Amino acid sequence: MRKKIMAVVLSCLTIFALVASSFAVTFSASAVSVDEMTKAAVQIISRSEGTYGTINPNDNGAVSIGMLQWHADRALQLMRSIANADTGSAQSILGSSFYNDVMNASNWNSRTFSSAESTAASNLLTTAAGKSKQDALAYSDVQGYISAGQNLGISNAGVLVYYAELYNRGMGVAKRILNAAAGGGSYSSVTLSKLHTTALANSSSYYTDRLNNAYNTIVSLGWGDASVSGGGDNGSGGDSVDTSDFSESYAGTYTVTASSLNVRSTPSTSGAKVGVLPNGAQVTVTSANGSWAAVSYNGISGYCSMDYLKQNAAQTTAPAETTAPAQTTTTAATAATSDFSESYAGTYSVNASSLNIRSAPTTSASKVGSIPNGAQVTVTSGNGKWAAVSYNGISGYCSMDYLTQVTAQTTTTEETTAPAETTTTTTETTTTAASQQDTEPAETTTTAETTPIDMDRVDEAYVSLYGDVNCDGEIDILDAVLLQKYLNGSVQLNYTQLANSDCQKDSQLDITDVTVLMQYLLRSFTSLPVA
């Protein structure tokens, strides 16, 4: 009997060892813990989303708050958890009315903040309890994204972290991009550079800077393609590059003159994009052939077109206290506003779903705020491409592609009758420089031509009831009418409404969703969604 028991035990141990070894093989490719990946992904995502105290008081019909911009009901849940953790501070900071709403509201599906509420909410979010709750929630959310990737068979750390960035936009878009990158093969075979290239090709320009920042950060951590292949440069994938005609005579420091300049894995426009250089950036060129240059910038190595690189003058022995200070003040923002004119001054209306406010007139500059669709914004000057704006106490720069002039500045005598002309020529002006050679569009804001809100940012976590577009708890003809109006561009929908509208559960909204909803109302379908 004892021998039989021992035999069973040994068999179990053998099976356990085999299982354990298989897991070891699965995760040895990255040699990075889930904790490390989660923390890296949190940093990458929050860098694009916000800080502890960031408030978007009207993010397409509902509020978004905090370091990961938790939206609508999730914003309510976060605020309530902070208030429960530190009731005294919450009551003092929020005031009785706002505090009672936080503690008793059934939902925030269409809740927006006033200016005073935004300030109070930001103050609560930046308390010790507010930061602690956000850290814990962000870690939990992002660890879930990492786990979702692992469950699909992804084992490489860089790919998992990048997948988490995609997943934060929406489960549907993350899976769609991963499928495209795999091309019918296994998810485990997808490399970081392949996933990045596919994501850029399958995302709106709104996400270009964000995706590049994620990719470059992951590569800088040493989790690029080379960490899988066991050799070669990060991001190069081990491909041989012909630089036989390159010369070190071009070596030196250069300044980027384009609004943004691609860094590629090979000296060719067909090479994979591994990064983006902002306007005014100082880059090190090690060699070149007159058309392409081998460059290094902030840990990124690759090749750039020399058409948009200007070599800096050779350094002299001039005293540091004389010419140096003047040089340092010539930042990208300062240089880029030298052609700004007050003739553009006036009141403008935003015609995009949301328009970024940046610290400098370039897409590479940090985002300091956003302006919702239809908002009135004051423009003090501009150059036809970018405008210096002021909105709700936030000052910065916005793309003029998505600004329509309402009133011109009254001090202008001859130009007051021509606001329409200044706005209609904006698009033609912005496309000139970018069309010449391997540069990016001037601004990465979602256009409002068809569906103003990018469905990539919507996932089923927002769903309250599929088909209930107006969120009244019932599915009827009014929901179909509202969805049709949204598709026609006559109304806006918040994230919950958009998620409820996806009657086919394909992360896209079109007339087919209206048809499916009508068929459901006619009892052709017994339930929604119809996947």
Specify the 3-state DSSP secondary structure of 355.
strand
* Domain-embedded: residue 463: yes
Whether residues 275 and 339 fall in one domain: no
Main-chain phi, psi angles of 297, to 5 degrees: -155, 120
Whether residues 267 and 410 fall in one domain: no
The greatest distance separating any two alpha carbons of the chain, rounded to the nearest whole angstrom, comes to 105
Whether residues 409 and 390 fall in one domain: yes
The count of domains in the chain is 5
Residues 58, 206, 223, CA angle at the centre, nearest 5°?
A: 115
Whether residues 41 and 62 fall in one domain: yes
Q: Cα separation of 443 and 429, whole Å?
A: 13
Which pLDDT score, from 0 to 100, does residue 451 have? 39
Q: Looking at residue 477, which CATH number applies to its domain?
A: 1.10.1330.10
* Domain-embedded: residue 194: yes
* Domain-embedded: residue 236: no
Which of 149, 133, 221 lies closest to 181 in space, CA to CA? Answer: 149
Say if residues 362 and 332 touch (Cβ distance below 8 Å): yes
Whether residues 147 and 271 fall in one domain: no
Which of 72, 160, 77, 141 lies closest to 113 in space, CA to CA? Answer: 72
* Domain-embedded: residue 322: no
Burial of 435 (0-12, 13-18, 19+ CB in 10 A): exposed
Q: Cα separation of 67 and 502, whole Å?
A: 27
* Domain-embedded: residue 445: no
Whether residues 75 and 182 fall in one domain: yes
Q: Token pair of 500, please?
A: 């409820």
Residue with tokens 């905090």: 66
Say if residues 252 and 286 touch (Cβ distance below 8 Å): no
Which pLDDT score, from 0 to 100, does residue 300 have? 80
Q: Token pair of 423, please?
A: 């706005």
Which of 364, 365, 387, 362 lies closest to 377 in space, CA to CA? Answer: 387
Whether residues 139 and 263 fall in one domain: no
Q: Looking at residue 274, which CATH number applies to its domain?
A: 2.30.30.40
User: What is the pLDDT tens value at each position of the chain, 531 positions in all?
Assistant: 444 444 444 444 443 443 333 333 333 333 688 999 999 999 999 988 889 999 999 988 999 999 999 999 999 999 999 999 999 999 999 999 999 999 999 999 999 999 999 999 999 999 999 999 999 999 999 999 999 999 999 988 999 999 999 999 888 889 899 999 999 889 988 999 999 999 999 888 778 889 998 999 898 888 887 543 323 333 333 345 677 788 888 889 999 888 788 888 888 877 777 788 888 889 899 888 888 888 888 778 888 888 889 998 754 333 333 333 333 333 444 556 878 888 888 888 887 767 888 888 887 677 778 888 788 888 888 888 888 988 877 888 888 888 888 876 544 333 333 343 444 444 343 433 333 344 434 343 333 333 344 555 566 667 788 899 888 888 998 989 888 888 887 777 777 788 888 888 877 888 888 888 888 888 888 888 887
Which pLDDT score, from 0 to 100, does residue 327 have? 38
* Domain-embedded: residue 230: no
Main-chain phi, psi angles of 128, to 5 degrees: -60, -45
Instruction: Tell me which residue range forms the domain holding 5.
Output: 1-29
* Domain-embedded: residue 85: yes
Which pLDDT score, from 0 to 100, does residue 135 have? 95
Q: Rounded to two decimals, what is the model's pTM? A: 0.45
Taking each helix axis from N to C end, the angle separating 157-169 and 171-182, rounded to the nearest 10 degrees, works out to: 140
Whether residues 56 and 202 fall in one domain: yes
